[in-house]
């Protein structure tokens, strides 16, 4: 067992080089290396890693981890439903919805002295693929800060997707390559397009098929989606979803003439958009934007805010203006690079 650091205040959770650790319960939350007991907030790779001895997560997250890493991604797994509380070594553990992706959860850790909520990644927008975020009152709230700058105010994703549909109507003979992350973002976009009335078959890069199968098996109404192989007949104007890294690789060349589109919260930043060489940038994110971060901090009414993986300084300053305690965790390993994290 690694010795926790910064434990001078006897907090229920303490940061360690591996991740957030609960000394009383002897478990980690979203650890960055293999541990004996891990509680996992959601299935993205910077939070859910294989090789732990025991894993506690929602049924959906366990299914996603099995799809990504294999059925033996952990020695032992235990599913916990949202809203259910279990007691472990005197610590109450409850999972609440985070609204980030399918199966995503906040984790509330409670004992007689303190209640701490680890939000993981979260958003406050409607997402037909997952349960909406639920504010949970606590003493300490641990929040992400991926888009914690005032410039990040994400528009409604329906408006952004209407921009895409309008462009497709204007250029009906171009194949549309839409770069988006394979877990969460892609399925959300498809379901939102269906709600907007787009009923055409949607193509999938091969790297996306497995996770689309998971979502479909969990009841997400994705409509007609199909893997794109060498033998697939590509119709003019077809929409094809692919990982961002595939937008300009050899795989993409067969679809010319093609309209290249990127969906990410980072499309607000012009320099990031230029780096992607996308002809159309859609500002669609699976993370809370600046107003939503402030809204959430206000709603949970925590005495202290801990801030991790993102723009800590701006959020700390906002907390100080409200006379609210805040500290940066600066946890190494929660990567905010859009190539490795699902933004």
64-85 pLDDT tens trace: 999 999 999 999 999 999 999 9
211 and 270 in a single domain? The answer is yes
Q: Whole-angstrom Cα distance, residue 2 to residue 4?
A: 6
Mean pLDDT of 42-53: 97
Tell me if 322 sits within 8 A of 299, measured CB to CB: no
The answer to whether residue 89 sits within a structural domain is yes
Cα atoms found within 13 Å of the Cα of residue 314, Cβ hemisphere only? 17
β-bridge mates for residue 311, sequence order: none
What ranges make up the beta strands (E) of 255-298? 258-263, 280-282
pLDDT of residue 340: 43
129 and 58 in a single domain? The answer is yes
The answer to whether residue 55 sits within a structural domain is yes
Mean pLDDT of the chain: 92
Q: How many CB atoms lie within 10 A of CB 317?
A: 11
pTM score, whole prediction: 0.92
Mean pLDDT of 95-104: 98
Q: Whole-angstrom Cα distance, residue 120 to residue 29?
A: 9
93 and 205 in a single domain? The answer is no
182 and 93 in a single domain? The answer is no
Number of domains comprising the chain: 2
The backbone region for 3, taken as left when phi is positive above 0, alpha when psi lies in -120 to 50, beta otherwise, is beta
Q: What does DSSP say about strands 325-328 and 140-145: parallel, antiparallel, or unpaired?
A: unpaired
What are the pLDDT digits (tens) for 138-179?
999 999 999 999 999 999 999 999 999 999 999 999 999 999
The answer to whether residue 237 sits within a structural domain is yes
pLDDT of residue 230: 85
Cα 239 to the center of its chain, rounded Å: 23
146 and 164 in a single domain? The answer is no
213 and 240 in a single domain? The answer is yes
The answer to whether residue 136 sits within a structural domain is yes
Tell me if 234 sits within 8 A of 177, measured CB to CB: no
β-bridge mates for residue 320, sequence order: none
228 and 321 in a single domain? The answer is no
Tell me if 36 sits within 8 A of 102, measured CB to CB: no
The answer to whether residue 341 sits within a structural domain is no
Sheet with 175-179: list strands edge to edge.
225-227, 202-204, 239-242, 175-179, 258-263, 280-282
β-bridge mates for residue 241, sequence order: 178, 204
The answer to whether residue 49 sits within a structural domain is yes
What are the pLDDT digits (tens) for 201-225?
999 999 999 999 999 999 999 999 9
Tell me if 188 sits within 8 A of 129, measured CB to CB: yes
pLDDT of residue 331: 64
CA angle at 190 for the pair 185 and 191, rounded to the nearest 5°: 100
Taking alpha carbons only, the member of 223, 168, 235 closest to residue 195 is 223
144 and 293 in a single domain? The answer is yes
The answer to whether residue 203 sits within a structural domain is yes
Whole domain around residue 229: which residue ranges? Answer: 157-282
CB neighbour list of residue 144: distance below 8 Å, 6 or more residues apart: 119, 120, 121, 122, 287, 288, 307, 308, 309, 310
Domain containing 239 — which CATH number? 3.40.50.10890
pLDDT of residue 269: 86
Residue 270 — pLDDT band, cuts 50, 70, 90? confident
The answer to whether residue 6 sits within a structural domain is no
What are the pLDDT digits (tens) for 3-46?
344 444 678 999 999 999 999 999 999 999 999 999 999 999 99
252 and 316 in a single domain? The answer is no
187 and 246 in a single domain? The answer is yes
92 and 215 in a single domain? The answer is no
For the stretch 70-77, contacts whose Cβ atoms lie closer than 8 Å and that sit 24 or more positions apart, written own/partner, are 74/38, 74/50
25 and 142 in a single domain? The answer is yes
Domain containing 293 — which CATH number? 3.60.15.10
């Amino acid at each position: 067992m690694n010795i926790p650091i910064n434990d001078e205040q006897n907090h229920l959770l303490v940061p360690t080089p591996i991740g957030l650790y609960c000394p009383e319960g002897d478990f980690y939350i979203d650890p960055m290396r293999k541990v004996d007991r891990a509680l996992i907030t959601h299935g993205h790779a910077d939070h859910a890693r294989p090789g732990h001895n025991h894993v506690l997560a929602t049924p959906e997250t366990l299914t996603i981890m099995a799809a990504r890493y294999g059925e033996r991604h952990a020695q032992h797994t235990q599913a916990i439903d949202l809203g259910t509380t279990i007691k472990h070594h005197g610590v109450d553990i409850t999972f609440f919805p985070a609204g980030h992706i399918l199966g995503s959860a906040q984790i509330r850790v409670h004992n007689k002295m303190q209640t701490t909520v680890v939000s993981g990644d979260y958003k406050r927008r409607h997402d037909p693929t997952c349960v909406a975020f639920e504010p949970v009152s606590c003493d300490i709230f641990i929040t992400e800060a991926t888009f914690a700058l005032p410039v990040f105010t994400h528009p409604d994703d329906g408006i952004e997707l209407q921009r895409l549909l309008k462009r497709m109507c204007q250029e009906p003979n171009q194949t549309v390559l839409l770069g988006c992350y394979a877990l969460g973002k892609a399925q959300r976009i498809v379901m939102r397009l269906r709600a907007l009335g787009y009923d055409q078959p949607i193509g999938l890069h091969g790297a996306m098929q497995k996770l689309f199968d998971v979502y479909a098996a969990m009841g997400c109404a994705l409509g007609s989606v199909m893997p794109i192989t060498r033998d697939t007949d590509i119709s003019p104007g077809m929409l094809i979803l692919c990982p961002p890294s595939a937008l300009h690789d050899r795989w993409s060349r067969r679809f010319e003439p093609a309209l290249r589109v990127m969906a990410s919260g980072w499309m607000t930043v012009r320099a990031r958009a230029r780096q992607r060489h996308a002809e159309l940038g859609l500002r669609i994110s699976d993370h809370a934007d600046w107003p939503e971060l402030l809204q959430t901090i206000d709603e949970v009414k925590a005495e202290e805010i801990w801030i991790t993986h993102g723009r800590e300084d701006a959020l700390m300053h906002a907390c100080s203006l409200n006379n609210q305690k805040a500290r940066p965790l600066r946890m190494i390993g929660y990567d905010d690079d859009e190539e490795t994290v699902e933004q």
